[in-house]
């Protein structure tokens, strides 16, 4: 472990403490996450000053969080405040009183940096290169446009879920039709005055609590089987359907709605209106969700300032796979050799046209081979089942949900029966062609594992030749063959299924072969 970081996120709607443990390979792991829905925005009067009650509430919560961070032995506390305090005329007095009462000095996040941190979290945790990001807070909404993972434009709108609720719904029902119409008109007008994200036809990446609640409600409504929100995708019509669900319910029903936090029941409608209006303005085809947001963006900045070349935003998926090795402590040399053998096998088969994969499928083959049967550390006899469960139930940076499912299937591939069993939970996430391709790739990975059964790295290369009507897969090795011959003969059926042709294995000592040549 390198260090522990305690981040206090002081938002308009809630205050949260997250303690991150940073491992030696810079993998970040949450060890504490506490949220208090303080709604400090409600303590700010019409003159944009926070009342003494609000300051006292803020100081009490920050003091408690600082003690909790100390108990967890945080090496550094990062107390960051956004719109509610930033927009207060008496912000200096707020900061001074909190410091005097708690010893903690609040740092204000400038508008432009609040947008940047959200963008940074997305490009550090997702593989997409181009898009529009949105983070709806309680008192502000941050929107950015990025291309090739570079920030192009950013703007902070001075309204959020709480402030919109107070402006248009105060004293009215949360689903009041006139208030909804007025909110929509207001947001649409605000967006029209900042035309930098009009008609971009790019995916939208949503972060923050409001986005998470919309996604969770949709998952509950559709009986979605896969765990986690990171990389979850919704279409614009699905956002509209969730919105219709909200406005058709009573407040009593909203408080019981699966997936919706009760403290957001009265503010989720204006937040969803903002999402809908952004989708229409951008002409976006998809709405994607990132589990990581402002807090992670702040920590990424801190780590990159402290540790040189800490992250490569163009290798998000690869770094995720590599960092899993520190979590599950499997043999990296064996994993790397299995990946090499799988690539050699594919190269031999593809050269003569027996198998063809696209670039993303090849990447998934590499990752699946590297992580193959990582569940052995729980129980070797059921390594496949444990591997599938661990990967399919983890938020994996750089992977969409269908890609996470594909990776889980490849890394756990054992036989067709288990393969089909794993797929039954996830409905229509993959089409028939994708399923067939994954079964073929899984067979290659399993066969590659057989060719390194003794873990002595003896396989050096492979090729295919025809002898009459027989397809020969020649395996060139150096060293002593142990169980590789038996295992590969027993499991070659997986390769035969993938290419639709019987094969004969021929093991050739590479040194002797070179001497003959």
Residue 517 in this model has a pLDDT that exceeds 60: no
Region of poorest pLDDT, from 283-287, 365-369, 390-394, 427-431: 427-431
Exposure letters 68-88 (e unless 16+ CB within 10 A, then b): bbeeeebeebbbbbbbbbbbb
Looking up tokens 């142990």 gives 482
pLDDT for position 516: 52
Contact 208, 135 (CB under 8 A): yes
For 170-211, how does the pLDDT look when each residue is reduced to its tens digit (9 = 90+)? Answer: 999 999 999 999 999 999 999 999 989 999 999 999 999 999
Give the count of beta carbons closer than 10 Å to the beta carbon of residue 431.
10
Q: What percent of the chain has pLDDT over 90?
A: 83
Smallest CA-to-CA distance from 32 within 59, 60, 5, 61 is with 5
238 phi and psi angles, rounded to 5 deg: -75, -35
Which distant-in-sequence residues (6+ apart) come within 8 Å of 109 by Cβ? 80, 81, 82, 86, 117, 294, 298
pLDDT for position 1: 65
93 vs 100: CA distance, rounded Å: 10
Residue 469 in this model has a pLDDT that exceeds 70: yes
Chain mean position to CA 197: 24
Residue 276 in this model has a pLDDT that exceeds 90: yes
Segment 458-483 mean pLDDT: 92
139 vs 83: CA distance, rounded Å: 6
244 vs 266: CA distance, rounded Å: 15
Per-residue DSSP letter, 30: E
For 49-86, how does the pLDDT look when each residue is reduced to its tens digit (9 = 90+)? Answer: 999 999 999 999 999 999 999 999 999 999 999 988 99
For 77-133, how does the pLDDT look when each residue is reduced to its tens digit (9 = 90+)? Answer: 999 999 889 989 999 999 999 999 999 999 999 988 999 999 999 999 999 999 999
Contact 168, 273 (CB under 8 A): no
Whole-structure pTM value: 0.89
pLDDT for position 83: 85
For 198-255, how does the pLDDT look when each residue is reduced to its tens digit (9 = 90+)? Answer: 999 999 999 999 999 999 999 999 989 888 999 999 999 999 999 999 999 999 999 9
Residue 515 in this model has a pLDDT that exceeds 80: no
Contact 204, 284 (CB under 8 A): yes
And the tokens for 344? 């050699």
And the tokens for 57? 């509430």
Q: Quick one: which H or E segment has residue 117?
A: helix 111-125
Residue 427 in this model has a pLDDT that exceeds 70: no
Chain mean position to CA 205: 11
Between 512 and 166, residue with greater pLDDT: 166
Quote the Cα angle for 484-485-490, to 5°. 100
Question: Judging by beta carbons within 10 Å of its beta carbon (0-12, 13-18, 19+), is residue 462 exposed, middle or buried?
Answer: buried
Segment 479-487 mean pLDDT: 90
**What are the strands, taking DSSP E only, across 281-393?**
287-289
Give the count of beta carbons closer than 10 Å to the beta carbon of residue 435.
16
pLDDT for position 172: 96
> What DSSP letter does each residue of 157-221 carry, written as one string?
ES--HHHHHHHHSTTS-TT-HHHHHHHHHHHHHHHHT-GGGTT----EEEESHHHHHHHHHHHHH
Residue 483 in this model has a pLDDT that exceeds 60: yes
397 vs 28: CA distance, rounded Å: 11
Smallest CA-to-CA distance from 156 within 175, 135, 177, 128 is with 135
pLDDT level of residue 511 (50, 70, 90 thresholds) = confident
Q: What is the mean pLDDT of the chain?
A: 93
Contact 370, 330 (CB under 8 A): no
pLDDT for position 87: 87
**In order of start, what are the domains of the chain with their CATH numbers?**
3-109 (3.30.420.40), 112-295 (3.30.420.150), 316-512 (1.10.3210.10)
Total length of the chain? 517
343 phi and psi angles, rounded to 5 deg: -65, -40
pLDDT level of residue 514 (50, 70, 90 thresholds) = low
pLDDT for position 512: 73
């Amino acid at each position: 472990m390198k260090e522990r970081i305690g981040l206090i996120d002081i938002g308009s709607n809630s205050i949260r403490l997250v303690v991150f443990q940073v491992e030696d390979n810079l993998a970040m792991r949450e060890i504490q996450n506490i949220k208090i829905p303080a709604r400090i925005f409600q303590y700010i009067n019409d003159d944009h000053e926070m009342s003494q009650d609000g300051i006292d509430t803020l100081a009490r919560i920050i003091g408690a969080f600082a003690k909790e961070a100390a108990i967890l032995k945080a090496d550094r506390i990062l107390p960051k405040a956004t719109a509610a305090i930033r927009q207060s005329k008496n912000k200096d007095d707020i900061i001074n009183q909190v410091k005097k009462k708690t010893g903690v000095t609040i740092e204000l996040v400038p508008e432009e940096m609040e947008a940047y941190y959200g963008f940074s979290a997305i490009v550090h945790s997702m593989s997409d290169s181009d898009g529009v990001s949105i983070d709806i807070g309680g008192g502000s909404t941050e929107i950015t446009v990025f291309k090739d993972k570079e920030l192009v434009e950013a703007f902070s709108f001075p309204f959020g879920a709480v402030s919109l609720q107070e402006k248009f719904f105060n004293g009215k029902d949360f689903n009041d039709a006139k208030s909804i119409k007025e909110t929509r008109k207001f947001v649409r007008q605000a967006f029209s005055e900042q035309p930098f994200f009009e008609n971009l036809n790019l995916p939208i990446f949503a972060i923050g609590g409001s986005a998470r609640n919309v996604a969770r409600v949709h998952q509950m409504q559709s009986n979605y089987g896969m765990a986690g929100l990171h990389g979850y995708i919704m279409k614009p019509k699905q956002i509209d359907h969730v919105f219709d669900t909200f406005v058709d319910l009573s407040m009593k029903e909203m408080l019981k709605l699966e997936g919706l936090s009760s403290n957001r029941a009265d503010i989720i409608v204006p937040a969803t209106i903002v999402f809908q209006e952004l989708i229409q303005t951008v002409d976006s085809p998809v709405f994607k969700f990132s589990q990581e947001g402002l807090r992670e963006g702040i920590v990424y900045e801190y780590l990159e300032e402290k540790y040189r070349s800490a992250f490569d935003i163009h290798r998000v998926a690869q770094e995720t796979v590599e960092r899993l090795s520190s979590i599950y402590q499997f043999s990296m040399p064996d994993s790397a050799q299995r990946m090499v053998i799988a690539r050699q096998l594919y190269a031999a088969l593809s050269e003569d046209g027996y198998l063809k994969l696209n670039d993303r499928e090849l990447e998934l083959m590499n990752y699946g081979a590297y992580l193959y049967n990582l569940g052995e550390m729980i129980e070797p006899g059921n390594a496949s089942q444990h591997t599938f469960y661990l990967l399919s139930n983890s938020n994996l940076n750089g992977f969409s949900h269908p890609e996470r499912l594909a990776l889980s299937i490849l890394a756990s591939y054992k036989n067709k029966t288990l393969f089909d069993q794993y797929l039954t939970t996830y409905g229509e996430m993959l089409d028939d062609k994708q399923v067939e391709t994954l079964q073929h790739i899984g067979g290659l990975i399993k066969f590659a594992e057989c060719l390194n059964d003794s873990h002595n790295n003896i396989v050096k290369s492979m090729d295919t030749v025809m002898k009459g009507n027989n397809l020969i897969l020649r395996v060139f090795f150096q060293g002593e063959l142990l169980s590789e011959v038996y295992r590969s003969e027993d499991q070659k059926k997986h390769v035969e299924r993938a290419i639709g042709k019987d094969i004969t294995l021929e093991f050739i000592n590479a040194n002797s072969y070179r001497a003959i040549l």
